[in-house]
Chain A
């Protein structure tokens, strides 16, 4: 498990990181926690010429609340996110999701930026990014850009990140105070990754659902918003029956993967079961 030879560079600023990326002529990779990239390099599934270490870049570890959005720096580790008081107060669903990533060692090293930029289709965070209308902040030679989460994940390990760019932070919408968000995952027994992971945020006003976000990861090549589920519940009362009805549509907006552990049919079924589970818990009907 030894990677091919590579050059190692350390960037001290975003600008320098991007400059180094450009200088590598497309053969460089940014590394932060390294918990997605290094295993692939050790299996020689990828062999970048240059690793550009961004761990020393200043200013990418902040958690800020601006208006109705909370922004986290790309270099925050999963552990830092799950234990951050501001995150726990404003976005408990994000803390909950981070706490379910990998194991202690992975959470101590892996970063939110690296996780989202890697775009593993079974990763937990993309679901919560979709459910919280996340905006991914990207800096490139051209300047700064923002991508909505729904436009960011294009395929397995494929994102909208342009060449020679860097994900610097993520801003999440803080859902209205009357809502509640949860993350429910059916973990693969080998990897702990999501076979199906559901992030759901729901709020009821005057007996009717007036706020709902349901996003699913793991089920297919890309995480997706379960719009059919959302639309079915919006404006209706929240009961076990309405939840159950809506949850049946959980797979409608996705393309189910089919593998050794779970067939497409079973995954679709799991999507329904886990959407129901998540919505019941979020509605405190348990």
Chain B
């Protein structure tokens, strides 16, 4: 229906999900289903001397117990699928169960399969493992030291890769009139999707085919990787990810447990299920961030920024996860110059092995880290010059007339109007009034602060040619099939794999808008490799810019063919036939006159095929394999206002204002929801979240009792708004919105807190900004007027 694009349609998927009718992987029940449990290393680094499974095998409910030695000849290692070019990357073998050595707490040592879940868990306690505990290393900088324990023998110094980009030289910084440098630490985060990971596998020996239900953001990538690991041809594997309860990047990777479940089902001839415990989720599902970042900017005395460089030591954990190496390199490095006119930039990245959980994408993946260091150092640059941080930004933001803009690191920003965004946000914030109030309150011993981020994001991953050039071991186009049924109802098959983002609704809006049919006549099918030709999945805010445009093109191909049939029915030439609001009509006549035919009437004729124009085949389907020509670059301005409690260091968020531009907005409610969730997660990093290991590699924040996930009552009502600068390089004019909140909010909050602490001479604090950290900083600082 026209007008449906851009309207706040309620989510079609919600009635199913909120009444418990969804099909999450753990909901899958099959006859004779066996249950798996995994024995995990309690040590971060140890030699496995002996594994005795005999007692576990005696348990009456136990069907099998597998150890590393049992599987090594039968299934392949878990691959890494992002290999940054010219980085000397060491993809050390990662077996689904450890063979000689465990490398982090949680590393799999054995898997029990039993006919009952309780028995499987009990049997774990019957396995005896003899370990020789080795010293562990958890900090990436320490891991690069000469005396550090070696995680993998084939990666001396624990360096997994070294990647560089850019042209900024030492002289540019040494000779700059203004030169600011600082070390920032991005703490480690735990993604914590509401649904833990789960796999169910069923093997049909007669056809040699394996069906797996998976908590996956990218079922086709999982199929490809599992095909290689399990040695099964790809067309004999079906992956289903029907409903997935959030991923935030943590369900991109192909995990050892997934391979093991597939293997066990094949080996034992019974279907096998494994569902992660929340404790396992903390320990073995990929973590995010964890980078040590030395940042420098050079500039002029008038506030002009000229060059930036970043030295990044990224903690990759014990193994290189599927997309792990792409995060601190490509996804981080290329966006370092952000929304500013930097003439030069340089990025130097070390990926380092440690005895910790592997890291991979976490909402924003690289871009929050880059935006954080940039937005923080811009504030320090402003401080150095005694300029207002907003003014420094305004001076350096790329102008609306400069697009497409070529950055110092080779990206071509598609479109933007950064000043408009900043002005809109400033209007909402009432910036000058806040500054005035801040002065007044300071004199009363109360400390409020304001911080902002003017960000640009790179998303809509991405042109496949670029994917290849940057070492991503796959394409990044997207497929769509639009199947129109004889009655005019539509089924869409998309290679994108939404898992909470609402595309069952927004994609239906795209179809409804173009075909002029109600969105309830449109069903979106995703997450099934047998029903969907091919696809690359949902991550990197690509679903709408890539998958959505693939869909729009496929719909237009349907219209193209329908127009031929309509012209034939109307006895007119194709060029004369217009299509609007679901009606084909002859140009020059208003819709509603006799010379018209509805979309549904045309569809029926396409299927009856009693009288089709010459050369037109029966049926009505549109297909598209759409490869974007460029990334898309959403942008925006976020402001946070906080008050710091002088006595306790507690931070109260007074207001949060977000102005985002993701091109044309398909569903403002869903876009706003994405922004809200992103902001909450980003503030979570700024103020509360942080995974901490002790020096023996034990995760100290391994439950929700210690790891502080933000709760709704921690936040004020977010004030959100959009500007709409259409994406010029895609049909729908859309950009991504799934990650902007996490990208923008973290530095906005920290900038606000540091601003509040200015009278205490505080320049920076490491996240999370816990009350004690803030209090200690105030204790040390001297209050200046």
Contacts and interface: CB of A to CB of B under 8 A. Distances in A.
Given A189-B688, A190-B704, A190-B707, A269 B775 contact: yes
B591 interface: no
Interface of A: 1-2, 4-5, 43, 186, 188-191, 193, 260-263, 266, 269-270, 273
B707 to A, nearest CB: 6
Contact of A1 (B277, B707, B770, B772): B277
B118 A2 contact: yes
B647 interface: yes
A246 to B, nearest CB: 16
B121 interface: yes
B772 A262 contact: yes
A43 B279 contact: yes
Given A2-B121, A5-B118, A273-B647, A266 B776 contact: yes
Contact of A5 (B122, B279, B775): B122
B705 A260 contact: no
A190 B771 CA distance: 13
A1 B647 contact: no
Contact of B772 (A2, A5, A266): A266
A191 B125 CA distance: 29
A82 B771 CA distance: 29
Specify the main secondary structure of chain B where it touches its partner. Answer: loop
A32 B348 CA distance: 58
A186 B776 CA distance: 17
Contacts of B122: 4-5
A261 B770 contact: yes
Given A189-B710, A190-B707, A262-B771, 16 more contacts: A2-B121, A2-B277, A43-B703, A189-B708, A190-B688, A190-B704, A190-B705, A190-B706, A191-B706, A260-B700, A260-B706, A261-B706, A261-B770, A262-B772, A263-B772, A273-B647
Interface residues of B, number: 29
Nearest to A193: B705
Contact of A261 (B125, B278, B772): B772
26 contacts: A1-B277, A1-B279, A2-B121, A5-B122, A43-B279, A186-B648, A186-B771, A188-B708, A189-B687, A189-B688, A189-B708, A190-B706, A190-B709, A191-B704, A191-B706, A260-B692, A260-B700, A260-B701, A261-B706, A261-B770, A261-B772, A262-B772, A266-B775, A269-B775, A270-B648, A273-B648
A43 B278 CA distance: 10
Nearest to B714: A189
A190 B648 contact: no
Interface in B276-305: 277-279
B117 interface: yes
A91 B93 CA distance: 65
A186 B650 CA distance: 10
Contacts of A266: 771-772, 775-776
Contacts of B771: 186, 262, 266
A272 to B, nearest CB: 9
A261 B125 CA distance: 32
B89 to A, nearest CB: 34
A187 to B, nearest CB: 10
A191 B705 contact: yes
Contacts of B709: 190
A218 to B, nearest CB: 13
A260 to B, nearest CB: 6
A273 B117 CA distance: 49
A263 B647 CA distance: 16
B120 to A, nearest CB: 9
A190 B775 contact: no
A260 B703 CA distance: 13
Contacts of B125: 4
Interface in B730-785: 770-772, 775-776
A194 to B, nearest CB: 13
A43 B121 CA distance: 12
A263 B775 CA distance: 12
Contacts of B707: 190
Nearest to A276: B647
A162 to B, nearest CB: 29
Interface in B676-711: 687-688, 692, 700-701, 703-710
Contacts of B688: 189-190
A3 to B, nearest CB: 9
Contacts of A263: 772
B781 to A, nearest CB: 16
Nearest to A272: B647
Contacts of A2: 117-118, 121, 277
Q: What are the 9 A-B residue pairs with the smallest beta carbon separation, nearest first? A: A190-B708, A189-B708, A266-B772, A191-B705, A2-B121, A1-B277, A273-B647, A189-B688, A262-B772
A35 to B, nearest CB: 13
A270 B772 CA distance: 10
A123 to B, nearest CB: 13
Interface string B122-164: 1001000000000000000000000000000000000000000
A260 B710 CA distance: 18
Contacts of A186: 648, 771
B704 A1 contact: no
A270 B705 CA distance: 20
B408 to A, nearest CB: 40
A76 to B, nearest CB: 25
B564 to A, nearest CB: 59
A189 B650 CA distance: 11
A1 B703 CA distance: 12
Nearest to A261: B770
Interface centre among A5, A189, A273, by most chain B C-beta atoms within 10 angstroms, is A189
A188 to B, nearest CB: 8
A268 to B, nearest CB: 12
Contacts of B701: 260
B219 to A, nearest CB: 27
Contacts of A191: 704-706
A159 to B, nearest CB: 21
A266 B687 CA distance: 17
Contacts of A261: 706, 770, 772
Contacts of B705: 190-191, 193
